[in-house]
Amino acid sequence: MEIKVPELSLVVLIGVSGSGKSSFAKKLFKRTEILSSDECRALVSDDENNQASTNDAFDVLYYVAGKRLKNGLLTVVDATNVQKESRKGLIELARTYHCLPVAIVLDLSEKVCEERNLSRPDRNFGGHVIRQQNQQLKKSIRGLKDEGFRQIYILKSLEEVDSVLEIKREKLYNDKKCETGPFDIVGDVHGCFDELQELLSKLGYTINQVEVTDKNFGFNVIAPKSRKAIFVGDLVDRGPDSPSVLRLVMSMVNSGVAFCVPGNHDLKLQKYLNGKQVQLKHGLEVTVQQLENETSEFKKSVEQFLYSLISHYVFDDGRLVVAHAGLKEEMQGRGSGAVRSFCMYGETTGEIDEFGLPVRHNWAKEYRGKAKVVYGHTPVPEAEWLNRTIDIDTGCVFGGKLTALRYPEEELVSVKAKRVYCEPIKPLDFNESEYKLSSQQEYDDLLNIEDVTGKRIVQTRLRNNITIREENSIAALEVMSRFAINPKWLIYLPPTMSPCATSELPEFLEHPAQALNYYKKRGVEKIICEEKHMGSRAVLVICKDEATAIKRFGIENEGNGVCYTRTGRNFFNDSEIEKAFIARVNQCLTNTNFWDKFNTDWVCLDAELMPWSAKAQALLKDQYASVGSAAGGALPVVEQALQMALYRGVKDALPSLEKFVIKNKAIDKYVKAYQNYCWTVESIDDYKLAPFHILATEGEVHVDKTHEWHMTNIEEICQGDFKLFMATPYKIVDLKDQSSFDEAVQWWLDLTSKGGEGMVVKPYDFIAYGSDGLLQPAVKCRGSEYLRIIYGPEYDAPGNIDRLKNRGLSRKQSLALREFALGVEGLERFVNKEPLRRIHESVFGILALESEDVDPRL
């Protein structure tokens, strides 16, 4: 006997004790697919025959079954299931998860079962139990279909049971995952035949009228190369020529150039044609009239065609779902009455709006699924993406337009309605204003806490899954909520940067040889050295004008740009200075023709903003200058006291005196080191802005460019405002060439001896890979004097530097890579116009990772 079950189904085994259900299940299903009530009894009571634990055991069984079904896994329930009540719960469970319940009944003779039980010492219940179970079973069999089982198999003998060698798993009808497109998905047609023809031609389809055969209904449609059309349903009603639309679509579906899912209007027409009682309204009356002169044969074909339509399809390996009224994630690729009904009508709240129409619950607002959902049903003025869903019913029959979405290009193609065929009850274009926020922006106005809290796993293009631990997201939530700017501006946070490996030279903690060798050892031939400026990291998002801020970022009344720190805070505390600063940057970009050159209305720049004292004033005063002041107050006194003692003849004071003289000199150098990065700021001209990455512009994240590209393009920007902007000196190094290598080392020595912070070494390409995967996007090499600020004034004193050299970089490097991947991910998501929560997730992740415990001196 052959048994077939849907790929995703809840298989309920039915049979009295001893009928061999467990052996049957073990023979035909995977071990993990079987949930046995006996095993659950054992789990909760250590005794698989303990009837007292039955309730607990079934709680476990239902819980696990629910999880499996939710995850789309076939599940077999191995319990007697001879009573209707016990099956009822299972049917409910299948319905909850929108999968099909299947019954397999082992209807064997009482004798066989009794013998089997007798042979098992643990099953010492009397024969009356089996007799009773058997009676219940017999009574049940007839009712299984009515109970809701979609497939029922009854095995009446041991031979029959043994004859089942395999259980065939069948794909669901809605599974078209192997169809990968490209597709042209067409919105609600509603009998608008002219517009449909025009749209299909515009999409490149050739429509020939041919004689009616078995295969077609009068049309032969040739699709452009390898493309297929998909209709989202509601082919009929209200419009001028539903029969022709049906003919065309039926021809296309029959010949395999199109798929079609049914709409609620199609379903109603099918019911009518099938002779069911339906009310002739909402445009059905028009269709019925149009069909009057058609042959009954045609009408029958229509009825059969509509009846055969599958509620929704899942295409392209699960990446695309098409359903008439859309479909929630948990229903996709599943089959149940509820799924079908959702596909047809969407979700309604039961309320009626001011136009007398049912209020629809906007499921798309809560959509979090991975698949893109294309649907129609509700006429909208413009098709717009919202959380990876798009409604392409642009109300052609109401005088709007007929729209198609090209997939995967995501290009919208429309033709205008020739006229208004039907007056809409609700006007189509209400709520339209000049700078209207898109549906996505309106939705994105508020982020959801569930998208950021707890342990999170963020998928990135560069480095797959990145885990954010809960304690880190706790810290990030506070910082993000209390200090960060409007999350709509916050499309990027810079990653942390690792220093190079520790130098082997006795007098250096960091030396360029290690920085260059990091890349050389990993097979990178060409690198770039950029001077590292000592200011504060600043990320700038600058829009061409305020309209862009609204249109592209959904931000109103917050100016046309922002400048923020590495933790997402406003760089400037004074909003007037900020405004003036943003205006200067904007003007400079305009001056240098940046907007046209990059074909963009906005840009995200990664930069260093100097002086250090501008942002870090508090830090400088409370920390750096304070240490200098405390030491400056004490060390001369110490020196004097020791000198006096020595003068008196206390010879043993000498080593201490020598030591404290060194300390005193170290403090002087330390104070000079930080003073180097401080100057007084009185106007915008006193700032120096040194951008080093043009991170993103409209449609592009410039991580596919080389750093030389970034540097030369930034040099051009700097031409526009010499006072504020500062081009970063850099050097391109050929690592195969020793002299080039040595020049880079000398360059660093020169830079740092003049008080420079040091340099950043990057691979020539923005993203570089070595044998062990993604490489550090940059490695810093800091100057000896600068390091006093980091490791303390006396870090290079004899005996100190050797101890400090014992430092590990692996955590820092791993962190840098994860943050880099998240940073690029956030930008790419923004450029791809993904929902804000997806961008915020990446940015939030970086902030969270920044709270990880890593030596801050690195």
Partner 1 sequence: MILNITTTHKPATDLGYLLHKHPDKFQTFDLSVGKAHVFYPEKGEDKTTISLLLDIDPIDMVRGARNLGGDGFALGHYVNDRPYVASSFMSVALSKAFSSAMNGKCKEKPELVDVKLPFKVSIASIPAPKGGEILIRKFFEPLGYKVELKRHILDAKFPEWGDSNYFLLKLEHTITTKELLSHLYVLIPTLDNDKHYFVSENEIEKLLQKGEGWLKDHPEREQIIRRYLINLNSLSRQALERLSEGEEIENFIADPVEKTATEKKKETLHDKRIKLVAEKLVESGAARVLDLGCGEGKLIRQLLKQKQFTEIAGMDVSYNELLKAKERLHFDEMSPKQKERINLFQGSLTYRDKRLDGFDAVAVVEVIEHLDLNRLKSFERVLFEFAKPKTVILTTPNKEYNVMWEKLDAENMRHDDHRFEWTRNEFAEWANRIGKSYNYNVETFPIGDVEENIGAPSQMAIFKYGN
* CA-based nearest residue to 237, from 338, 339, 377: 377
Reading phi first (left if > 0) and then psi (alpha if -120 to 50, else beta), residue 508 is in: beta
Residue number, 469 or 520, with CB nearest to partner 1: 469
If you write DSSP's letter for every residue of 732-773 in order, what string do you get?
Answer: EEETT-HHHHHHHHHHHHHHHHTT--EEEEEESBSS-EETTE
* CA-based nearest residue to 703, from 566, 831, 546: 831
* CA-based nearest residue to 689, from 541, 581, 593: 581
Give the nearest distance from C-beta 623 to partner 1 in angstroms: 6
Out of 656, 706, 740, 814, the residue judged to bind partner 1 by CB under 8 A = 656
Out of 141, 634, 662, 745, the residue judged to bind partner 1 by CB under 8 A = 634
Out of 271, 463, 520, 569, the residue judged to bind partner 1 by CB under 8 A = 569
- Site size for partner 1 (CB under 8 A): 84
* CA-based nearest residue to 485, from 570, 377, 407: 570
Give the nearest distance from C-beta 487 to partner 1 in angstroms: 8
241 Cβ contact partners less than 8 Å away, ≥ 6 residues apart: 191, 192, 193, 194, 290
The yes or no reply on residue 658 touching partner 1 (CB under 8 A) is no
Number of Cβ within a 10 Å radius of residue 649: 7
The yes or no reply on residue 789 touching partner 1 (CB under 8 A) is yes
The yes or no reply on residue 850 touching partner 1 (CB under 8 A) is yes
- C-alpha distances in Å from residue 515, one per residue of 222, 507, 748, 769, 819: 60, 17, 11, 16, 20
The yes or no reply on residue 626 touching partner 1 (CB under 8 A) is yes
Out of 40, 642, 760, 816, the residue judged to bind partner 1 by CB under 8 A = 642
Q: Give the contact letters, 804-823, x = binds to partner 1 (CB under 8 A), - = no.
A: x-------------------
The answer to whether the CB of 502 falls within 8 A of the CB of 805 is yes
Stretch that binds partner 1, among 170-178, 269-277, 640-648, 700-708 (CB under 8 A): 640-648
Burial class of residue 536 (count of CB atoms within 10 Å of its CB; 0-12, 13-18, 19+): buried
Out of 85, 296, 465, 618, the residue judged to bind partner 1 by CB under 8 A = 618
Out of 623, 746, 753, 832, the residue judged to bind partner 1 by CB under 8 A = 623
The yes or no reply on residue 661 touching partner 1 (CB under 8 A) is no
The yes or no reply on residue 856 touching partner 1 (CB under 8 A) is yes
The yes or no reply on residue 257 touching partner 1 (CB under 8 A) is no
Out of 628, 758, 783, 826, the residue judged to bind partner 1 by CB under 8 A = 628
Residue number, 460 or 613, with CB nearest to partner 1: 613
The yes or no reply on residue 349 touching partner 1 (CB under 8 A) is no
Token pair belonging to 299: 């009408």
Residue number, 42 or 645, with CB nearest to partner 1: 645
**Beta-strand relationship, 75-78 and 9-14:** parallel
Residues 435-474 that bind partner 1 (CB under 8 A): 445-450, 452-453, 471-472, 474
The yes or no reply on residue 351 touching partner 1 (CB under 8 A) is no
Out of 619, 662, 681, 749, the residue judged to bind partner 1 by CB under 8 A = 619
Residue number, 146 or 652, with CB nearest to partner 1: 652
Out of 558, 668, 698, 708, the residue judged to bind partner 1 by CB under 8 A = 558
Residue number, 109 or 448, with CB nearest to partner 1: 448
The yes or no reply on residue 574 touching partner 1 (CB under 8 A) is no
Stretch that binds partner 1, among 2-10, 289-297, 754-762, 793-801 (CB under 8 A): 793-801
Give the nearest distance from C-beta 820 to partner 1 in angstroms: 18
Q: Is the peptide bond before 408 cis (omega within 30 degrees of 0)?
A: yes
Give the nearest distance from C-beta 332 to partner 1 in angstroms: 23
Stretch that binds partner 1, among 457-465, 546-554, 565-573, 807-815 (CB under 8 A): 565-573
Give the nearest distance from C-beta 449 to partner 1 in angstroms: 4
Residues 384-443 that bind partner 1 (CB under 8 A): none
Calpha distance 716→125 (Å, rounded): 91
The yes or no reply on residue 847 touching partner 1 (CB under 8 A) is yes
Residue number, 180 or 675, with CB nearest to partner 1: 675
The yes or no reply on residue 378 touching partner 1 (CB under 8 A) is no
The yes or no reply on residue 610 touching partner 1 (CB under 8 A) is no
The yes or no reply on residue 649 touching partner 1 (CB under 8 A) is yes
The yes or no reply on residue 241 touching partner 1 (CB under 8 A) is no
The yes or no reply on residue 562 touching partner 1 (CB under 8 A) is no
Token pair belonging to 479: 């910082």
Stretch that binds partner 1, among 406-414, 589-597, 622-630, 775-783 (CB under 8 A): 622-630
Give the nearest distance from C-beta 569 to partner 1 in angstroms: 8
* CA-based nearest residue to 230, from 259, 207, 254: 259
Stretch that binds partner 1, among 65-73, 154-162, 563-571, 739-747 (CB under 8 A): 563-571
Strand partners, 468: 456
Residue number, 310 or 846, with CB nearest to partner 1: 846
Cα 189 from chain centre: 32
Calpha distance 531→513 (Å, rounded): 16
The yes or no reply on residue 635 touching partner 1 (CB under 8 A) is yes
* CA-based nearest residue to 740, from 436, 520, 583: 520
The yes or no reply on residue 557 touching partner 1 (CB under 8 A) is yes
* CA-based nearest residue to 302, from 265, 355, 340, 334: 265
Residue number, 529 or 614, with CB nearest to partner 1: 614
The yes or no reply on residue 79 touching partner 1 (CB under 8 A) is no
Strand partners, 536: 609
Coil, strand or helix at 641: helix
Residue number, 85 or 507, with CB nearest to partner 1: 507
The answer to whether the CB of 573 falls within 8 A of the CB of 613 is no
Out of 182, 204, 632, 770, the residue judged to bind partner 1 by CB under 8 A = 632
Calpha distance 521→797 (Å, rounded): 32
Residue number, 256 or 649, with CB nearest to partner 1: 649
The yes or no reply on residue 624 touching partner 1 (CB under 8 A) is yes
Stretch that binds partner 1, among 126-134, 263-271, 604-612, 630-638 (CB under 8 A): 630-638
CA angle, residues 559, 565, 568, in degrees to nearest 5: 75
Token pair belonging to 224: 């452009």
The answer to whether the CB of 473 falls within 8 A of the CB of 455 is yes
The H or E element spanning position 186 is: strand 183-186
Q: What is the 3-state secondary structure (H, E, C) of 367-425?
A: CCCCCEEEECCCCCCCCCEECCEEECCCEHHHCCEEEEEEECCCEEEEEECCCCCCCCC
Residue number, 274 or 448, with CB nearest to partner 1: 448
Cα 251 from chain centre: 39
Residue with tokens 């209305």: 601
Out of 243, 793, 826, 845, the residue judged to bind partner 1 by CB under 8 A = 793
Give the nearest distance from C-beta 365 to partner 1 in angstroms: 11
* Backbone phi, psi, residue 9, to 5°: -145, 165
Stretch that binds partner 1, among 60-68, 184-192, 206-214, 557-565 (CB under 8 A): 557-565
Residues 471-530 that bind partner 1 (CB under 8 A): 471-472, 474-482, 485-486
Calpha distance 536→607 (Å, rounded): 9
Give the nearest distance from C-beta 847 to partner 1 in angstroms: 7
Q: Is the peptide bond before 856 cis (omega within 30 degrees of 0)?
A: no
The yes or no reply on residue 616 touching partner 1 (CB under 8 A) is yes
